[in-house]
Amino acid sequence: MLGFIIRPPHQLLSLLLCPGLRIPRLSVLCAQPRLRPMAVSSSSWELPLVAVCQVTSTPDKEQNFITCAELIREAARLGACLAFLPEAFDFIARNPEETLHLSEPLGGNLLGEYTQLARECGLWLSLGGFHERGQDWEQTQKIYNCHVILNNKGSVVATYRKTHLCDVEIPGQGPMHESNSTIPGPSLESPISTPAGKIGLAICYDMRFPELSLALVQAGAEILTYPSAFGSVTGPAHWEPVSS
């Protein structure tokens, strides 16, 4: 799941893609919004189309990639300039030990597959929460929750490591301690210019800390992203107050 705040709202067209959902190309022509210059090209005037991809990740990284790749190719077919994937798009493990075992560095095989996919589709990708083995992996044996932006050439142009970890008591389910396996990131990332506008990077539980959002907006962010992997309890606890 991914939430974003658009400023102003008439300057972006989005579509939701889920596994098994097929949308005819002509469907994107139904909107009649205002035109705006694309953020990275002063000579191009068109409305940016972005795709928000919904997936249910499992511990099977290969199958997760196949599912995400299908949605990304569909987004490219429909003319999107940027596709968003949720937190934990790479996998959701059964326990913290498996999470650490399945994690990879940014230079690993899985991100390499997404790099190739971005080039193949000519599409920018927001990879909402990658289980990253950082340079301190050997010392800490812990990972980062990393939001990665790839451009349409497949280059990593921005990374943000989640600063606010989700350590909470969930009624009826017991404790959730993200910090058992994850290290908080050291800093915010400056908003990144994309074909859809300047994007401010955040992840999931960061939503509860408005100072982060204010800092990103003051730095020029036009879109605030909160790629999330909420559950049946934590989701309503965050999104119902936000939408009310």
d(CA 134, CA 121): 28
**Catalytically annotated residue among 68, 162, 166, 189:** 162
Active site residue 204: yes
Question: SS3 helix, strand, coil % of the chain, rounded to 5?
Answer: 30, 30, 40
Active site residue 70: no
Active site residue 162: yes
d(CA 183, CA 169): 19
**Catalytically annotated residue among 68, 81, 204, 222:** 204
Residue 149: both structure tokens together: 């932006």
- DSSP per-residue string spanning 126-149: EEEEEEE--TTHHHH--BEEEEEE
Burial class (CB in 10 A: 0-12, 13-18, 19+), 70: middle
Q: Helix (H, G, I), strand (E, B), or coil: what is residue 219? A: coil
Peptide bond into 8 cis (omega under 30): yes
Structure-token match 């003051």, residue found: 218
> What is each CA distance from 37 to 40, 76, 113, 194, 197, in whole angstroms?
8, 20, 31, 12, 9
**Catalytically annotated residue among 53, 61, 87, 104:** 87
Which positions are catalytic? 87, 162, 204
